A = this chain, B = another copy of it.
Amino acid sequence: MSFSMYLSPEDEGSLLSIDLQAIVSNWQTLTARLSPGCQAGAVVKADAYGLGADRVAPALAAAGCRRFFVASLEEGLRLRPLLAGLEILVLNGPFPGTEAAFAAHDLIPVLNSLEQVAGWAALADKTGTNRACVLHLDTGMARLGLRAEQASLLAADRSMLSRLGLIMVMSHLASADQPNDPLNSRQLAAFQKISQLFPGLETSLAASSGIFLGPAWHGHWVRPGAALYGVAPNADAPNPMTQVVRLQGKIIQLRDVDAGDSVGYGATHHMAAAGRLAIVAAGYADGYFRSLGNRGYGFVGERRVPVVGRVSMDLIAFDVTAIPTEALSPGAMIDLIGPDLTVDDVAAAAGTIGYEVLTALGRRYRRHYRGGSMA
């Protein structure tokens, strides 16, 4: 249901701008870092980290990306028509009984357990075709993937292997954003050791942060996600990625407040002096986390304005006392994410990581895409 017939863009509320060209540029930046023989796929799970997989994935495909990673079967089904002839890998693998749906729609499962391996082999028995799949080896996440002893059992089972159509073995790093964590080298060594049990297959170990650990971690395929969307791969180093997102909150009302006035639910903020508030049409229902109450901030041009009081479901109050009165009026915008306020900055204020800020971005924002092949 579209309401564009009723509303011009100016009529609507807060605005989320997504720069597809910046995503493509980030993918190219990462690709340029890779060793010969290594390629970059793209992780577009969780609706491309909240930014719209139906727009992001085709833009990356147009730039040359050939392998896409989603979390679930349903995500794969949604992208399949948009990525004709390209590979879609499903990281969570098949739930029991869904193997045929993977095959019917040319989705490549990542097999995370011996049960998933057996299910995929059973499909081969039924159809007479051993279809492409990827094997996930756990090397220190204890999340998905085979344990070392399970991998050894499988590697010795030639009959089972012959029914799988394995194209790649992969693992996942637990602390790649902390380059000095010795876990990174331990996981690399473990992966190299176990993957030798599956000779001739491609390998994949690194996601966004792992790419920056160096060529030893690259293997044949890297799987960037967060870095494509502008999140810093290493929290302690300058961010080499281009910003992708701008979020502008629309002002409903400007209001004068007196010294001592309390602001918002629970009266958690009191004005130290008379001033002026801007009430913006966004709130925690839009993924502007409630934990940003009295901690977050926005920008009016180059001037920082603090969130005062608790974040409401649909509203945020900013103290704009320092902004000249004539500079703001109802309908004007405050940057909630913008040139001077990255996704990572918002995450730091909220006590989380940029990934969660992105995936929480709400559905009520008007979305504007710039760049990309479909723009």
Contact = CB atoms under 8 A, between A and B. Distances in A.
A284 interface: yes
A35 interface: no
Contact of A252 (B46, B92, B254, B264): B92
A47 B279 CA distance: 21
A6 B101 CA distance: 7
Interface stretch (A10-18, A196-204, A298-306, A337-345): A10-18
Interface string A255-288: 1110001111111000100000101010111010
A266 B91 CA distance: 20
22 contacts: A1-B78, A3-B78, A6-B101, A7-B74, A7-B101, A13-B72, A45-B313, A93-B252, A95-B331, A96-B330, A113-B330, A116-B330, A142-B261, A142-B262, A142-B264, A143-B309, A144-B315, A147-B255, A284-B355, A290-B356, A291-B351, A313-B355
A148 to B, nearest CB: 11
Given A285-B50, A290-B353, A364 B74 contact: yes
A267 B140 contact: yes
B314 A255 contact: no
Interface string A178-192: 100001000000000
A77 B3 contact: yes
A234 interface: no
* Chain A contact surface mostly: loop
Interface residues of A, number: 87
Given A95-B252, A142-B271, 20 more contacts: A6-B104, A7-B73, A7-B74, A72-B364, A74-B364, A91-B314, A92-B252, A96-B331, A113-B253, A116-B253, A138-B255, A142-B255, A143-B263, A143-B309, A143-B312, A143-B315, A143-B317, A175-B265, A284-B356, A291-B291
